[in-house]
Each structure stands twice: as structure tokens, then as C-alpha cells.
């Protein structure tokens, strides 16, 4: 639970106003509900007795019933809307925090985590934390406050019954939730870990679908996934059983309170010290108080998952970036030649989880073996070679996503390790093979390249990317909605939009990693031909498997055996 509070307390402070208002509405809702039942019991019993032999004022309780009903409806609606809105904003804040801490991590650090595990930490682990406030903190505080008030009111008429009710409230709001939360730790941890494994298995199955079918391993993969599904189902059943046991205990506490109120109230009613309508009102008010028990028990049974999720997120977010700005940085010129000097690099291996989840098991074999390369200002070069030869690694080292094991890379005469990362990325921009089109408009996608760009600059970038004519033909032009992952655009149009976004930046060096991946041959050749005019005056370093049109680049280099070889 320490990790849970450590993770959420700073975010709760940021949203304290909304949380307190939602809590106030929750208190008002429960108070109105308890009061409604209590007044209803008083009203109905008094009305029944009035028909028999007593007189009873029907107007006051009738007005109170309507008033409390209206208050309960309005406050519950406000509490649900505000509570859920604040919680969703908290989750959005948390995702932003985790993602910002994840971005600076280098390849070696990210290699400790599988793709599906990272996705799980950013999605299902964060989602598991939405129960903490809505089903744990708010109901517990609300139940405790209203429980104390009802116990005092009951104690004014029946002192022993008030004391017993107060003890039952403590059991319901503090002791039982604590016990259930401890019992839910193991199944909660199992749920979060297995869900992460399932996400990883899904990612691997999609990526290696053809290999699984070719090797006849599809049935085995399905069987292992089904076993994981069963593990999650059994763990969730344990969580449900824990919540059910808690509700059963609350029902016993509720029944005990009612029986004792009836038992200790019978004699005062007979002696005339307590009227029948008030006695009935007290009974129903106590029943209304235990209405809050359901959310409390559900929240307590899910705290195990929330605590496990918090531990996984804290472990990720506390990882310190190894690629950081130097203490004393050197400024980079706007333009300059790029020089690789005896650069060696090997891929990091994944962490050996059985030994130490926070340490790498070392490096694999070298993929770059003393690379020497000089790229002049305005020069366009293409790097070809087999998959896995180290072409993309060369680009990542230039962008300082990782550092070489040996050797040095410089820009305009300054070693990039001595420059600020933000300044380096202003000089060099990457257009990756999986560069995404984000959900939004064409305009919003372009503004990612240059947030202050005016409309004329956007149209110029679209012209250079040969997409302006298409955008002008759209009914909304730049404000046309692209859809999820750019589904309203063809593959070629999406790639050109990403190119326009890169061209809109002020970067003088454009690094392209398989920019035509996924395009048909005609679209591929058209894109590469237009690239020559679009990048005029800029330095271009492109990794590709495509057949290059004549004149598209100045030099072609082949990555082979960890070295670069010139292609005539």
C-alpha cells in the first residue's frame, strides 16, 4: 500500500478541489438517503397510528420526504459526474507522468521490459487505480462520518444501541476493509501480472503469426493463452469471493444492529419514553446507513490489484534515464557536417528476471564495428543492407537514443554527448517507418512538427510532400479529420503527411528509417522521387530496402559485417 499512496498522493493534491467537492456530494447523498429512510419510517408509522388512535401531523414529514428525495437525486448525480470526471482526469495525469518518465529511457533500459508489459503498465495498471478513490477512499470517509452522526442520534434515544452501532461502523469502514485488502493482495498481484503476460503473448502472436502457423505452434499458443485466461478468471473469482465475504459480514453487522435496536427499544416504547414512529424511523435510518457497505467491500477487494499496479508503475517511473544532458553543454550550430569516428555498438540483452529485474545481462554481439562516416551539409545518402545489420541502430545513435560502446559521433564539430538533447533534436529529426498519424485533424498533425507554424508554412510543407492538392480537395481542408491512425488516408497519403510534418520543423538534418515501408511499388517510387525536391537544402540520411530512383541520393552505402561499404 505504500507504493499506492506514494504514486497517488501527489496527483490527489493537484486535484484536491474536485476530490473534496465529490466527497462532499457523497456525504450529502448518503446523509439524504439515511434521512429519507428514517423520516419515511417515522411518517408511515405515524400515519398508520393516526388512523388508529393517535394524532399525527402529516404535512411536515411529507415535505421532508420530498425534500430529502430531491436532495439525494441531485447530489448523487453531481457526485457521480464530478467523481468520475475527477478520477478520469487523475488517470490522464498519471498516464502523462508515466509516459514522460518513460520517454528519456534508452534502448538498454527499455530492453528490460517486453512490449506487452509496457503497454500493460500504461493501460490496465493505470486503469486498476480508478477504484482507489471511487470505491475505497470516498465510501470509507463517507460511511465513517455519517455512521458517527447516526450513532450519536441513536445513542440519544438508546445509548447501548448507539454504542454498538458505532462499533459496527468502525468494523464496516476500517477493520473489515483492511482485512479484505490484505486478503486481496495475492489475487490482485496475480491478475495484474497475468494480464501483462497476456498482452505480451498477444503482441508476439500478432507479430509472429506466420511463423506460428508455419511451425505448427498455433494450437500451443492458443492453449497457453487459454491457461492464462483461466488464471485471471480464477484470481478475479477470488476477488469476488473476498468482496462477497465482506458483504456477508456487513449483513451480520446490520442484522445485529437492527435486532439490538428492536430489543432495547421495546421497553422505552412501552413506557412512553420513545414513540413508535421515532423507533421505526431509527430502524430504517440504520438500514440506510449500511447502504454504503457495498462500494466499500468492492473497493477493498480490488485494492490488491490497485496496490500491485502501483508497485509496477512506481518501478517503471522511478527508473533513472542514463541518456541525460551534460552538466556543461556545448551549443550546436544550425548546420554542420556529421562525423562517425570508430563507432562500436552492440544490442543490449533483456534483463534476466530470475536474477535481477533491474539489471541487464550484458551486451550481445557487436553490430557496428568501428563505423567511420562523414556526411556533408546538404548531402543525401542512403544506407542499405540486410535486416538486423545495424542500419537503424546507426540512426538511433545519431539521435542519441543510446550511446556507442566505443567511438564518437559529432555534429558541426561538437560531440553529441556534450550537447543538450533538446538542441540536438532541433537539428536532427527522425521520420521512422512506423511514424504515426495521430487521431485529430491534418492541421493538428502538422503542428506536432512545429507548434507555432502558420497556415502558409503548413501549405508549403504539404506542397513539398506533394499532398497539398489532395488536402485542398477535401471539404474541410486542413481541418479534415484523419481518424484513428489516419484511417481516412491511404498508406501513401499518411506517409506523405508524416513527411510534411517533418519538413515543417526547422531541423536541417532529416533521418528516414524505411520511409516507404508498406507502400506498393508505384507509391514507393513516387515518394522517393518527390523526396529529392522536398528535402532540397537539407542533409538526408535514409535507411531503406527500396529501389532508389536515379538521382534520389548522392551516395549509397551498404551495411555489411558491421561496416559501411560504398556502392558505385
Looking at per-residue pLDDT, the higher value among 246 and 108 belongs to 246
Nearest CA to 543 out of 516, 568, 513, 565 is that of 513
Question: Has residue 52 got a pLDDT over 60?
Answer: no
Looking at per-residue pLDDT, the higher value among 207 and 535 belongs to 535
Residue 202 gets the label, from left (phi > 0), alpha (psi -120 to 50) or beta, of alpha
Handedness of CA 359, 362, 367, 371 (dihedral sign): positive
Say if residues 498 and 435 touch (Cβ distance below 8 Å).
yes
User: Could you give the C-alpha distances from 131 to 91, 112, 301, 428, in angstroms and in order?
Assistant: 11, 29, 10, 43
pLDDT of residue 142: 92
Please state whether the predicted TM-score (pTM) of the whole model is above 0.85.
Answer: no
Spatial separation of the C-alpha atoms in residues 32 and 73, rounded to whole Å: 9
Sequence length of the chain is 568
The position carrying cell 455519517 is 146
The DSSP string of 76-142 is: HHHHHHHHHHHHHHHHHHHHHHHHHHHTT--HHHHTTS-HHHHHHHHTHHHHTTHHHIIIIIHHHHH
Question: Has residue 95 got a pLDDT over 50?
Answer: yes
Handedness of CA 39, 45, 51, 52 (dihedral sign): negative
Say if residues 386 and 561 touch (Cβ distance below 8 Å).
no
pLDDT of residue 398: 92
Say if residues 161 and 267 touch (Cβ distance below 8 Å).
no
Mean pLDDT, rounded, for 357-367: 63
Q: Which strands sit side by side in the sheet containing 414-415, from one edge to the other?
A: 363-375, 338-348, 406-411, 414-415
pLDDT of residue 451: 87
pLDDT tens-digit readout, 180-201: 888 888 888 888 788 878 877 8
Question: Has residue 111 got a pLDDT over 70?
Answer: no
Strand ranges in 386-443 using DSSP code E only, listed in sequence order: 406-411, 414-415, 428-431
Say if residues 380 and 332 touch (Cβ distance below 8 Å).
no
Instruction: State the distance between the two ends of the chain, measured CA to CA, in whole angstroms.
Output: 64
Amino acid at each position: 500500500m505504500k507504493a499506492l499512496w506514494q504514486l497517488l498522493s501527489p496527483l490527489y493534491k493537484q486535484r484536491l478541489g474536485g476530490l473534496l467537492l465529490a466527497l462532499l456530494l457523497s456525504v450529502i447523498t448518503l446523509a439524504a438517503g439515511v434521512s429519507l429512510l428514517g423520516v419515511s419510517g417515522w411518517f408511515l408509522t405515524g400515519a398508520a397510528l393516526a388512523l388508529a388512535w393517535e394524532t399525527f401531523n402529516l404535512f411536515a414529514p411529507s415535505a421532508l420526504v420530498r425534500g430529502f428525495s430531491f436532495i439525494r437525486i441531485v447530489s448523487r448525480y453531481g457526485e457521480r459526474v464530478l467523481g468520475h470526471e475527477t478520477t478520469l482526469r487523475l488517470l490522464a495525469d498519471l498516464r502523462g507522468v508515466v509516459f514522460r518518465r518513460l520517454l528519456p529511457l534508452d534502448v538498454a533500459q527499455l530492453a528490460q521490459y517486453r512490449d506487452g508489459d509496457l503497454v500493460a503498465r500504461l493501460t490496465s495498471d493505470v486503469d486498476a487505480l480508478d477504484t482507489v478513490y471511487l470505491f475505497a477512499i470516498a465510501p470509507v470517509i463517507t460511511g465513517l462520518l455519517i455512521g458517527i452522526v447516526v450513532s450519536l442520534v441513536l445513542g440519544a434515544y438508546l445509548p447501548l444501541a448507539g454504542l454498538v452501532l458505532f462499533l459496527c461502523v468502525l468494523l464496516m469502514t476500517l477493520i473489515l476493509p483492511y482485512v479484505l485488502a490484505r486478503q486481496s493482495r495475492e489475487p490482485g498481484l496475480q491478475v495484474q501480472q497475468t494480464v501483462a503476460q497476456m498482452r505480451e503473448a498477444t503482441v508476439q502472436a500478432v507479430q509472429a503469426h506466420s511463423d506460428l502457423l508455419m511451425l505448427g505452434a498455433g494450437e500451443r499458443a492458443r492453449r497457453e493463452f487459454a491457461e492464462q485466461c483461466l488464471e485471471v478468471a480464477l484470481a478475479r473469482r477470488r476477488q469476488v469471493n473476498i468482496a462477497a465475504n465482506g458483504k456477508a459480514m456487513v449483513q451480520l453487522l446490520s442484522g445485529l444492529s437492527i435486532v439490538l435496536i428492536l430489543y432495547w427499544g421495546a421497553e422505552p416504547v412501552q413506557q412512553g419514553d420513545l414513540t413508535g414512529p421515532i423507533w421505526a424511523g431509527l430502524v430504517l435510518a440504520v438500514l440506510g446507513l449500511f447502504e454504503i457497505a457495498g462500494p466499500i467491500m468492492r473497493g477493498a477487494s480490488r485494492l490488491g490489484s490497485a496496490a500491485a499496479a502501483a508497485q509496477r508503475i512506481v518501478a517503471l517511473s522511478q527508473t533513472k534515464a542514463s541518456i541525460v544532458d551534460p552538466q556543461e553543454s556545448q551549443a550546436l550550430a544550425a548546420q554542420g557536417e556529421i562525423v562517425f569516428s570508430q563507432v562500436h555498438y552492440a544490442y543490449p540483452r533483456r534483463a534476466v528476471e530470475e536474477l535481477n529485474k533491474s539489471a541487464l545481462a550484458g551486451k550481445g554481439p557487436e553490430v557496428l564495428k568501428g563505423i567511420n562516416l562523414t556526411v556533408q551539409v546538404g548531402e543525401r545518402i542512403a544506407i542499405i543492407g540486410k535486416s538486423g545489420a545495424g542500419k537503424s541502430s546507426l540512426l538511433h545513435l545519431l539521435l542519441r537514443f543510446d550511446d556507442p560502446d566505443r567511438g564518437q559521433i559529432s555534429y558541426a564539430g561538437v560531440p553529441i554527448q556534450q550537447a543538450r538533447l533538446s538542441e540536438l533534436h532541433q537539428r536532427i529529426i527522425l521520420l521512422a517507418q512506423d511514424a504515426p498519424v495521430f487521431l485529430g485533424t491534418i492541421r493538428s498533425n502538422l503542428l506536432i512538427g512545429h507548434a507555432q507554424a502558420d497556415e502558409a508554412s503548413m501549405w508549403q510543407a504539404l506542397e513539398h510532400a506533394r499532398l497539398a492538392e489532395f488536402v485542398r480537395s477535401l471539404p474541410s481542408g486542413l481541418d479534415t479529420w484523419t481518424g484513428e491512425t489516419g484511417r481516412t488516408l491511404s498508406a501513401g497519403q499518411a506517409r506523405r503527411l508524416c513527411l510534411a510534418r517533418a519538413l515543417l520543423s526547422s531541423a536541417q538534418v532529416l533521418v528516414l528509417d524505411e520511409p516507404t515501408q508498406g507502400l506498393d511499388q508505384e507509391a514507393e517510387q513516387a515518394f522517393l522521387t518527390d523526396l529529392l525536391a522536398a528535402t532540397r537544402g537539407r542533409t538526408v540520411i535514409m535507411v531503406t530496402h527500396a529501389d532508389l530512383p536515379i538521382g534520389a541520393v548522392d551516395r549509397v552505402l551498404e551495411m555489411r559485417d558491421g561496416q559501411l561499404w560504398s556502392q558505385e
